[in-house]
Amino acid sequence: MKVVVQRVKEANCTVDKKVISSINNGYLLLVGFTQNDSIEEVKYLAKKIANLRIFEDQEGKLNKSILDMNYEILSISQFTLYGDTSKGNRPSFTKALEPKKALNLYLELSNILNKDFNIKTLNGAFGKHMDISLTNDGPVTIILESK
């Protein structure tokens, strides 16, 4: 499992020219799953996301988490995180988890962030063409991977 965490001032997801999800300050997550990922990887990275300290404290140091700031998350499924270009220029996506299993894990990540950590987490449209708009804050971008 890979998650690209972008600290944002705002982000939204548009499908068919309609905004379906929108947040102000918080994280835009790009979430990808690979073979053998399970709920254990989801729980591990949900905890890491919730406690990641990439917001400034009063001294300007990256010392506060999204929990400390009471901000929101926009989570976007991104199977292309597992695109492999080692054998040419056209990515192979054979390492990406099959869609039905990936959907279940993707929804579970949002459920855990919402319920266990009380972080308002909105989703994109799994399997649809989405236009993602964001204002990156910093910019601060962190890549997390499961064990």
pLDDT by residue (tens digit) across 33-51? 999 999 999 999 999 999 9
| Distance, CA of 25 to CA of 66 (rounded, Å) | 9
Q: What is the pTM of this model?
A: 0.95
| Distance, CA of 103 to CA of 94 (rounded, Å) | 16
What is the tens place of the pLDDT at every residue in 80-117?
A: 999 999 999 999 999 999 999 999 999 999 999 999 99
Nearest 10 degrees: Cα torsion 4, 30, 123, 108: -70
Enter the tokens of residue 14.
Answer: 């548009």
| Distance, CA of 39 to CA of 106 (rounded, Å) | 10
CATH homologous superfamily for the domain 2-145: D-tyrosyl-tRNA(Tyr) deacylase (3.50.80.10)
Note if 80 is an active site residue.
yes
- Domain residue limits, the chain: 2-145
Enter the tokens of residue 103.
Answer: 């959907």
What is the tens place of the pLDDT at every residue in 58-73?
A: 999 999 999 999 999 9
Catalytic residue among 14, 34, 80, 85: 80
Q: Does 147 have pLDDT greater than 90?
A: no
| Distance, CA of 113 to CA of 110 (rounded, Å) | 5
